[in-house]
Amino acid sequence: MFVLTEKPSFTAPISFHIPADGGKTQKVDFSVSFRFLPADEVKELFRRLDAQKLLTAARQKRLDADPEGALHTDQEADEITDREIIERVLIGFGDDLKGEDRKPLPFTPDNLDRLLRVHGAQQAIVESFFKHHFQAPEKN
């Protein structure tokens, strides 16, 4: 059965490693809620990502040809950052993301900013979004 909702969303797991005592790392796991993108936004997102790949390749060619000069180029206007993707699609934290008081962390701009400052969080969130939003069905 398919239920057509006004604001479709889905929950997905997030997993990445953070530094821990003794030179080790600790795996952290929690869940978040994502907005399910409508078809026109998916098309625009992939258009921008494809353009970004081309810009990155061109930038690498410039870097190979003139390493010093190529480092002084500004970010291209149409580039999309992990943070921009997250701000467009992330709509909530799961109850398994806790604050220092060990209570579920409310989804607020400040708490989102705190989470996104943790090294590895942005990449893990974006990867989870793409994996679960565009996941192909598995064969049995």
pLDDT, tens digit, 9 for 90 and up, residues 42-83: 999 988 888 887 877 777 777 777 776 655 555 555 678 999
pLDDT bucket at 134, cuts 50 / 70 / 90: confident
Give a yes or no: residue 94 inside a domain: yes
Q: Which residue has better confidence, 117 or 48?
A: 117
pTM above 0.85, yes or no: no
Residue 4's pLDDT band, with cuts at 50, 70 and 90, is confident
Least confident of 31-35, 66-70, 106-110: 66-70
Any domain includes 113: yes
pLDDT value for 86: 96
Domain assignment of residue 2, yes or no: no
Which segments of the chain does DSSP mark as H helices, in order?
39-65, 67-70, 82-89, 109-116, 121-133
Percent of the chain surpassing pLDDT 90: 61
Mean per-residue pLDDT over the chain, rounded: 87
| Residue 79, pLDDT score | 78
Burial string for 79-111 (b: 16+ CB within 10 Å, else e) reads: eeebeebbeebbeebbeebeeeeeeebebeeee
Q: Is residue 1 part of a domain?
A: no
**Residue range of the domain that includes 91:** 9-133
Q: What percent of the chain has pLDDT over 70?
A: 88
Number of domains in the chain: 1
Compare 89 and 140 and report the one with higher pLDDT: 89
The reply to whether 140 falls in a domain is: no
pLDDT beyond 70 at 21? yes
Average pLDDT estimate for 112-119: 96
Does residue 139 belong to any structural domain of this protein? no
